[in-house]
Chains A and B, each alone.
Chain A
Amino acid sequence: MTGWEVFLQQLIIGLSNGMIIALIALGYTMVYGIIELINFAHGDLFMLGCFAALTVVSLTGGLPVWLVLMLLLVLTPVFCGSLNWLVDRLAYRHLRDATKLAPLVSAIGVSFVFLNLGLFWGGLPLKVFGFGKAAAAPKDFPTLVSNANLLGSSNVEFTTKDLLVLVITVPLMVGLTLFVKRTRAGKAMRAVAQDRLAAQLMGIDANRVIGQTFLLGGGLAGVASVVASLYNNTIYFQMGYRAGMDAFTAAVLGGIGSLPGAVLGGLCIGLARAFADQYIATRWTNVIVFAILILVLVFRPSGLLGAKHREKV
């Protein structure tokens, strides 16, 4: 492959992975925008979604691929969204007015619970989980979408998988933007994010709206987990940490609280990872992502598209 072809290939890989990161980052940024909580458990929610997807696949053994995909894209987001909503209801709701530290630590606790759930899930006596023999080991996700290169015999590969990522994520993001801008529920979310008390005085049930935000953010993570599982064909119970870290960096890079920022950040991080893997060394990629995070926070803490934060005295 020529240098140019290598570059293009990494571009495609970077953008595809970037879209997945963007989906997770959207969930992060929505929850942060509305209650200023960094949901540590979000990455692990994504991981649980992957396990849920694998379970769905195992239970729908003989069905045609398109049907399995449909089921995945419906059931997994519902699962993740509901779980996220439940966690808010049980753990975070009572901490709305507590110190900043309390919901943060709570989120860490939830993250841990999810982590353990992932470990136990891998121990289920199902064929796809290796009959529970090695709960902690990575699991293979069946290749439902082929690796066939849509560009024919070119050196640069744009596979059906890449197409799948585009086909799922782009309409979803457009739909999300429309939802937040045009619908009443979306407006309520933006109102609560800007000023919770004022929104409540206008008759908006803040807790319900916050719950809906968690539901939506979780759903996005669910879609991300389906796409990621189909794209990477492997899941393991510690994958939540990496995904969460990348998504958080993306959200901060784009400007936390900003939806287009999360998408932009996700794409940037995806590209950064791909290029770092190729041109520097895989073992330094995580360090580079971390360095990006530090640089953004030092030079432009509000991110690329974010708004400045001003404390009222």
Chain B
Amino acid sequence: MSLLQVDKLTMRFGGLVAVDAVTLEIPPGEIVSLIGPNGAGKTTVFNAITGIYEPSAGSIRFAGHETRSEFHGSVAILLLLTGFLTAGALILLCNIESLWEVVITGNYQYRQVFQWKPAGVAFTTYFSENSGTRLILPAVLGLFLGLAGAWAVWQRSRRTPEVAAHAGIARTFQNIRLFNQMTVLDNVLLGMDTRLRTRFWHAALRLPLFWRERRDATGMAIEILRFVDLNREVNQLAENLSYGHQRRLEIARALAMQPKLLLLDEPAAGLNPAESQSLMELILQIRERGITVLLIEHDMQVVMGISDRIAVLDYGEKIAEGTPVEVRANPAVIEAYLGKSDAST
């Protein structure tokens, strides 16, 4: 069974078809590279997989499920709750003044004991007398608005990046997107966020769970930084790192998510041959940890050196797929990269 199943994925932006019926199958434990000329749609495929874009057509299944939140009972409860809250708020809004007059000021004598019973009676008679406009209309309107609004908001948040992240997909970005004002350690700790259980009251009140988890998380983060060889820069601000180190930090942050699938978007861009070599070793070590890797890369040394399989995109279509040897010799691939008349590799 494949870990990631991309089935006839199509992405349309206005009139432009950026990705055209692309099918990819990524079995667990492999390193798969996605290559192709610039503008072929590779990053767009990544963005669709990680939930940044909603597919125009086709499906994306990760570990058997579609990468979007399903309609559970809990969602229904939330929608209904919002509906009732809005209805209540609207009823309150329309009636609060008269209700106050009838229940409170009408029944309360200054500095005397408040009579609860007549207040309660006044409350119920108020609503039973004017139930049409005062109760039913705002209730129905509020319920409808609340349900519709919550539904609209929920629909827009169904396929969002955090859903994919929670499912076990991590990524790096083509243009490095680190949290520049945060330290190296904090960046990695942020990556770990899905695994943490500290809630805001634990943090505010410094309960034992907070201290325990912080100790454990910091330990794990430093271990990950050691894995990518950044443990000497723990307290450095992310924006002060060298370019190569920043790339590593992005990978460390993604690893902190303990993902099943790691998407790397041009990790070797801008690296010199020595750095590329250690990047290749790093990716192989990541695979040894049991993480499947999907890689976008232009550096053919890296691609040919570590990929188990390669898929080639051009103008949004998949034009070839296979082992490095097969793809290398594929005439369509050669044509895409080098043009028709040039037959050398």
Contacts and interface: CB of A to CB of B under 8 A. Distances in A.
A310 B152 contact: no
B149 A298 contact: yes
B59 to A, nearest CB: 21
B92 interface: no
B153 A313 contact: no
A313 B52 contact: yes
B338 interface: no
Contact of A299 (B13, B43, B149, B173): B149
A313 B152 contact: no
Interface string B5-20: 0000000010000000
Interface in A293-313: 295, 298-299, 310, 313
A313 B148 contact: no
B47 interface: yes
B152 A298 contact: yes
Contacts of B52: 313
Nearest to B47: A313
A295 B47 CA distance: 30
Interface string A264-301: 00000000000000000000000000000001001100
A197 to B, nearest CB: 14
Contacts of B47: 313
Contacts of A313: 43, 47, 52, 173-174
Interface string A63-74: 000000000000
Interface in B38-89: 43, 47, 52
A83 B211 CA distance: 56
Contacts of B43: 313
A299 B155 CA distance: 11
Interface SS, B side = helix
Contacts of B174: 313
Contacts of A299: 148-149, 152
Nearest to B173: A313
Contact of A310 (B13, B149, B153, B173): B13
A298 B148 CA distance: 10
A198 B21 CA distance: 31
Interface in B128-183: 145, 148-149, 152-153, 173-174
A280 to B, nearest CB: 11
Contacts of B149: 298-299
Contacts of B153: 298
A298 B153 CA distance: 7
A179 B47 CA distance: 39
B14 to A, nearest CB: 9
Interface string A90-128: 000000000000000000000000000000000000000
A299 B146 CA distance: 11
A118 B211 CA distance: 55
Contacts of B173: 313
A224 to B, nearest CB: 33
Nearest to B52: A313
Contacts of B13: 310
A55 B43 CA distance: 59
A310 B173 CA distance: 17
A310 B174 CA distance: 17
B254 to A, nearest CB: 15
A198 B95 CA distance: 56
A157 to B, nearest CB: 32
Contacts of B148: 299
Contacts of A310: 13
B143 to A, nearest CB: 15
A152 B130 CA distance: 44
B304 to A, nearest CB: 27
A290 to B, nearest CB: 13
The interface centre, meaning the residue of A295, A299, A310, A313 with most chain B CB atoms within 10 A of its CB, is: A313
B133 to A, nearest CB: 13
Contacts of A295: 145
A110 B152 CA distance: 36
Nearest to A294: B149
A102 to B, nearest CB: 15
A195 to B, nearest CB: 14
Interface of B: 13, 43, 47, 52, 145, 148-149, 152-153, 173-174
Given A299-B149, A313-B43, 11 more contacts: A295-B145, A298-B149, A298-B152, A298-B153, A299-B148, A299-B152, A310-B13, A313-B47, A313-B52, A313-B173, A313-B174
Shortest 7 CB-CB contacts between residues of A and residues of B: A298-B149, A313-B47, A299-B152, A313-B52, A298-B152, A298-B153, A313-B173
Interface of A: 295, 298-299, 310, 313
13 contacts: A295-B145, A298-B149, A298-B152, A298-B153, A299-B148, A299-B149, A299-B152, A310-B13, A313-B43, A313-B47, A313-B52, A313-B173, A313-B174
